[in-house]
Structure 1
C-alpha cells in the first residue's frame, strides 16, 4: 500500500488545510489557484465544514472575520488582482489579532496580469497587508509536499501568534503534479481559546472582536504587537542551505526558482564552478540568520534568482547580508529560469560583464 498521493500543489494545499482542521473556506475563482476552491467545494462537506464561493474576493475574506472570531480554522485563496482586493481584509484581521490562513498563488504582471507563473508579487506578500503596522508570516513552498506540510503548519502558527499566515506559491508550484505525503487528519476545538466569540449567558461578560487597542487599551495593545512581532522574527525563520561552504557564488531563490537553482548547481559543478543556494522557506520573517558571516564568508558574491522585472527579494537579501558581499540579480520576468541561464549569468559575473544591482 502506497503512503503517498499524486497531487497538484493546489490540491495538496486544500487537502492539508482540511486535515489541519480547517472547517470554513470562502473564495472566488481566479487562475492559477482555482483548484483550491474547486477541491474545497467538493470535499469540505465530508469533513463537516462550510464552503462558500463568495460574490467576489472582498466578500470572501470578509467572511473569514466571522469564522476566525468564532474560533474556527479558516482559509481563503486568490491570485494577482484578486489578492490585491484582500488587503483591507488582511488589515482588519491583523488589527483584531485573529488567526487566518490565506493562499496567494502568484501570477505574473500588474493589473489583470497574465495567467502564467510569476514571482513579482513578493513585495506585496511580505510588505502588504494593508495600511499601518502589520506583519504576516509568509511561507513559500517549493514542492507539492511542502504545499501540504507548510499549509498544515500554517494553522498552528496562525493560532500560536494570533496572526495571519500567508502561503505564497507561484503558478508553477501550484500547478505542479508530484508525489505528496499527506499529514494526519485532526479535529480542531473551536472553543479552545478564551478570546473567541461564543454563546454566553445573559449576565456574563461577552468577548468582543475589534481593534485590540479598543479592548485592552493602546499601550497594552502596542506592547502585545511589538513583542509578538519580535517573537515571530526570532523564532520562525526557516530556510534550506545547499553547498554554502564551497560556493564561489551563492544563489538565493524560493519557489520554482529554487528548484531550477538546484539543477544549476549540479550543472555548474560539471563545469568546475561552485555554486551554493540559500532557499528561504519563510520569506517573512526573512531568514537573516542564514546570511551570518560564517555561512557566506567564502563566497565572492550573492545572486538572487527571481521571476520579476525588478529586484524584489534582493532588498531583503541586501539587508540580511549587510552589504558584505556583491549582490547580483538574475531576473526572468514571466519566464521560468533555466539552469543554463543561471550558470551563464554566473559565468558573466566571473568575467566582469555583470555589474552589482541597485535595489530600487
Structure 2
C-alpha cells in the first residue's frame, strides 16, 4: 500500500470518508479546525454534505438527524466545544443512533488554551450528559492508529447502534506522519431497518426518540442499553503491553503521552532498569484485564498523563489494591518530558539507579 504524508486532522477526515461517511456537521475551534476544513472540501466531491452549524449544539443535533435517517455521519470539536455537545450525545445514545465523534482536545478548564492536553478524560469516559449511557472511546497514539480506528469506529457504531468517540490531543491533530488506508476487520452489520428513511407506503413509519414517560418502560430501556454496554466491555477492549513481563515498574499512559513513555522504557532498559508500559487504546472500556497480566516481580505502577491525573481512578480500580499507584503529570498544555518521567521512576525506586 502507498503511504501518504498527512496532518492528523486531515488524515482522520480522509479515514472517515474511506469508511463511508457522507455527512459532517461541526463548528470551528482550535486545534481541530483542519478537520472540518478538509471535510468541507472533500465531501462535496462524493455527493456528501458538509454544514458549518451556527453552534456546537446545533451541530450535534444535526448529527442526530442524519444518524436517524441511517447515514454514516461524523462531527468533531475540541474540549469546550465537545462540552457543549454533551446533551446531544446523551440524546443520541438514548435513541440508539450510530455516529462518530472526534475530540482533538486542548487544555482547560474553561476556554483554557489551544495546546495539547488529556484533561477531557473524565468528560469522554464518564459521559458529560445526563442519564446512564456509555460509548466506546478510542485513544490513538499515532496517526496510522487514528486512521485505522476512525475507519473501524463507523462499523463499531453501526454494530452497536451507539456513538463512538475518537479522543486525540492537539498533537494528534496537528502532527504529520505517513499513513495508509487499510480495510477494517469485517463485521456482520445489522440492517438499518429502524432508520427514518421513508416508508414508500410499505410499512408503518419509524419513530426515533429517547423519551419514555412511563418509568417502567424507561427502566426497561436502560436495562437494554446496559446489556449493550456490557457487550462492549466484553468484546471491544483494546490495549498494548510493552516489556511488562519482567518489569519492576509498570507505566500506564495513553495517546501521545504513551509515545513519550515508550521512549522512557527503552532508555531505562538500556540502563538495565526493568520498566514496562501498558497503553490503553480504548479508555472506555478501560483495559482492566491488562492489569491481571502484570508480573509478580512488579513493585509499583506509575500513571503518566497530560492532566492532573484523571485516569488514576480507573488505574486504581483495575489494580484492585495490589500495587502502589504513583502519578506524574503536566497540565494546561505542558507536555511531560522523558527526563522528568525518568526522574519520577528513579524516585519511586528509591533514588538514582
How far residue 220 of structure 1 moved from its aligned partner, in angstroms, is 4.0
Structure 1 outlier segments of 4+, above 3 Å:
201-204, 212-220
Secondary structure at 1:195 match in 2 = coil
Residues 65-99 of structure 1: per-residue CA shift (max 9 Å, x gap): 11000000000000121111000110110110111
* Partners of 2:137 and 2:129 in 1: CA distance: 15
* Partners of 1:127 and 1:191 in 2: CA distance: 27
Q: Between Structure 1 and Structure 2, how many residues are aligned?
A: 346
Query: Does the alignment pair 1:99 with 2:98?
Result: yes
Query: What is residue 242 of structure 2 aligned with on the other side?
Result: 242
Secondary structure at 2:107 match in 1 = coil
How far residue 211 of structure 1 moved from its aligned partner, in angstroms, is 1.6
Q: How does 1:295-306 map to 2 (within 5 A)?
A: 295-306=294-305
Change (3 A) 1:31 1:321: same
Contact residue 19 and residue 183 of structure 1 kept, 8 A: no
Query: What is residue 348 of structure 1 aligned with on the other side?
Result: 347
* Partners of 2:348 and 2:191 in 1: CA distance: 55
TM-score by length of 1: 0.92
* Partners of 2:110 and 2:239 in 1: CA distance: 31
* Partners of 2:223 and 2:87 in 1: CA distance: 23
Query: Does the alignment pair 1:314 with 2:315?
Result: no
Query: What is residue 357 of structure 1 aligned with on the other side?
Result: none
Query: What is residue 60 of structure 1 aligned with on the other side?
Result: 59
* Partners of 2:271 and 2:116 in 1: CA distance: 30
Contact residue 246 and residue 274 of structure 2 kept, 8 A: yes
* Partners of 1:299 and 1:278 in 2: CA distance: 13
Q: Which moved more, 1:334-343 or 1:165-174?
A: 334-343
How far residue 182 of structure 1 moved from its aligned partner, in angstroms, is 1.3
Residues 9-46 of structure 1: per-residue CA shift (max 9 Å, x gap): 11111000000000000001111111110110110011
Query: What is residue 13 of structure 2 aligned with on the other side?
Result: 14
Contact residue 132 and residue 222 of structure 2 kept, 8 A: no
Residues 209-259 of structure 1: per-residue CA shift (max 9 Å, x gap): 002757994354233212101100111110000000121100000111000
Secondary structure at 1:225 match in 2 = helix
Query: What is residue 337 of structure 1 aligned with on the other side?
Result: 336
How far residue 306 of structure 1 moved from its aligned partner, in angstroms, is 0.4
What residue ranges of structure 2 are gaps of 5+ in the alignment?
none
Contact residue 212 and residue 221 of structure 1 kept, 8 A: no
* Partners of 2:202 and 2:12 in 1: CA distance: 43
Change (3 A) 1:281 1:203: closer
* Partners of 1:350 and 1:115 in 2: CA distance: 35
What residue ranges of structure 1 are gaps of 5+ in the alignment?
354-360
How far residue 203 of structure 1 moved from its aligned partner, in angstroms, is 7.3
* Partners of 1:214 and 1:228 in 2: CA distance: 22
Secondary structure at 1:86 match in 2 = helix
* Partners of 2:211 and 2:249 in 1: CA distance: 46
* Partners of 1:191 and 1:206 in 2: CA distance: 19
Query: What is residue 358 of structure 1 aligned with on the other side?
Result: none
Query: What is residue 287 of structure 1 aligned with on the other side?
Result: 287
Query: What is residue 42 of structure 1 aligned with on the other side?
Result: 41
Residue 323 of structure 1: which of 312, 321, 324 is its match?
A: 321
Query: What is residue 356 of structure 1 aligned with on the other side?
Result: none
Query: Does the alignment pair 1:253 with 2:245?
Result: no
Query: What is residue 230 of structure 2 aligned with on the other side?
Result: 230
Residues 73-130 of structure 1: per-residue CA shift (max 9 Å, x gap): 0000001211110001101101101111100111011111100011111111101240
* Partners of 2:250 and 2:183 in 1: CA distance: 36
Secondary structure at 2:101 match in 1 = strand
Contact residue 107 and residue 116 of structure 2 kept, 8 A: yes
* Partners of 1:64 and 1:283 in 2: CA distance: 23
